């Protein structure tokens, strides 16, 4: 590709940050199948993107790559589905930072298992990003509830599970980190970013079709495409981000994975602007720390 890994990573951060906003807007806490509707919409858009990519590749693609890449695809799809469920119960400014500690976990695995390295400036930047993401999630969880009590606000139904709901972004972080680690192995030794991207998108398309059939045939629920606008926009931004993600990760993942995880900062800021979610001064401080870390990675690229 003509762009650098840093450019690809920044584009991924922006696109996935916007994605989280639309995921949250499109999530209905009263719809028990909301997460499956999102899976279908994402699978549909990814399937369309896969066709464009295959055409670009001259249709030179071995379908067996879908099976080969399945360990990675399954980790990503499972983690994303857990994330969609979590959005029914947690504000995006809590769910996203906690989920994206996966970048730090993946970076550690790349360092310990694959022998990936970083210089002192990269280490400092990755440390800043990781600390910032954890800090944002913890502070928002505590202070947002305090503020709601002070103002005698009724806690939204989708936020009533409290600490129990944190199991979803925590599980997301662990499973997604395993997916990122495996992806690094595949991109390093087994297949090109283009083949990996198509394999993942076709697998997601298959899962999306299964989700649609489960909703409409097994559960006999209606699926009105006209009511899926926000889910559709989330799917578009998700797919666009995935396109740049595979090229960014196909470098030194010990640096790239934690950096891309900072897309939750975009989610937090957009959640504050458009969804009126609470932010504190301390959170703004941690946002500044994360953004400084991202800047350092770019400056010393």
| Per-residue pLDDT tens digits for 233-263 | 999 999 999 888 888 877 766 677 777 777 7
Which residue, chain included where needed, has tokens 């909703």?
Answer: 215
8 Å CB contact between 173 and 99: yes
Residue 276's pLDDT is what?
A: 66
- The tens digit of pLDDT for each residue in 130-152 reads 777 777 766 655 655 565 555 55
pLDDT tens profile 89-125: 666 555 656 666 666 666 667 666 666 667 787 778 7
Element (H, E) at 1: none
Residues 149, 160: Cα–Cα separation, whole Å: 13
More confident residue, 163 or 261: 261
161 band by pLDDT with thresholds 50, 70 and 90: very low
Span 186-206, average pLDDT: 91
Among residues 1, 5, 2, 3, the alpha carbon closest in space to that of 251 is found at 5
Residue range 43-72: mean pLDDT, rounded = 94
Q: How far apart are CA 231 and CA 213, in angstroms?
A: 18
d(CA 88, CA 159): 8
Query: What are the residue boundaries of the structural domains of the chain, listed by start?
Result: 5-299
Report pTM.
0.74
* pLDDT-derived band at 68, boundaries 50, 70, 90: very high
One-character DSSP codes across 129-198: HHHHHHHHHHHHHHHHHHHHHHTTPPPPGGGTTGGGGGHHHHHHHHHHHHHHHHHHHHHHHT--HHHHHH
Model pLDDT, residue 100: 63
Range of 10-19, 60-69, 110-119, 152-161 with top mean pLDDT: 60-69
Q: What pLDDT is stored for residue 227 in this prediction?
A: 83
The region of weakest confidence among 33-37, 55-59, 106-110, 125-129 is 106-110
Cα gap 43→234, rounded to integer Å: 11
pLDDT of residue 235: 92
């Amino acid at each position: 590709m003509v762009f650098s890994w840093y450019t690809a990573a920044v584009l991924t951060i922006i696109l996935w940050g916007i994605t989280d906003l639309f995921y949250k807007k499109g999530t209905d806490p009263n719809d028990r199948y909301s997460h499956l509707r999102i899976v279908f919409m994402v699978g549909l858009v990814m399937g369309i993107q896969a066709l464009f990519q295959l055409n670009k590749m001259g249709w030179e693609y071995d379908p067996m790559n879908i099976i080969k890449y399945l360990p990675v695809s399954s980790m990503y799809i499972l983690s994303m589905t857990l994330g969609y469920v979590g959005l029914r119960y947690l504000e995006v400014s809590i769910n996203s930072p906690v989920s994206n500690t996966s970048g730090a976990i993946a970076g550690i695995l790349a360092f310990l298992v694959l022998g990936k390295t970083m210089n002192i400036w990269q280490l400092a930047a990755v440390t800043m990003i990781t600390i910032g993401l954890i800090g944002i999630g913890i502070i928002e969880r505590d202070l947002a509830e305090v503020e709601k009590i002070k103002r005698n606000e009724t806690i939204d139904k989708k936020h009533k599970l409290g600490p129990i709901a944190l199991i979803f972004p925590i599980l997301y972080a662990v499973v997604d980190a395993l997916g990122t680690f495996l992806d690094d192995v595949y991109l390093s030794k087994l297949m090109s970013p283009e083949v990996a991207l198509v394999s993942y998108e076709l697998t997601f398309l298959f899962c999306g079709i299964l989700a649609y059939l489960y909703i409409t045939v097994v559960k006999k629920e209606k699926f009105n495409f006209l009511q899926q606008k926000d889910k559709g926009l989330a799917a578009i931004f998700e797919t666009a981000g995935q396109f740049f993600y595979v090229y960014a990760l196909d470098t030194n993942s010990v640096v790239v994975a934690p950096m891309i995880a900072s897309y939750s900062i975009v989610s937090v800021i957009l959640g504050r602007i458009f969804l009126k979610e609470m932010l504190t001064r301390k959170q703004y401080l941690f946002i500044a720390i994360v953004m400084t870390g991202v800047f350092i990675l770019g400056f010393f690229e």
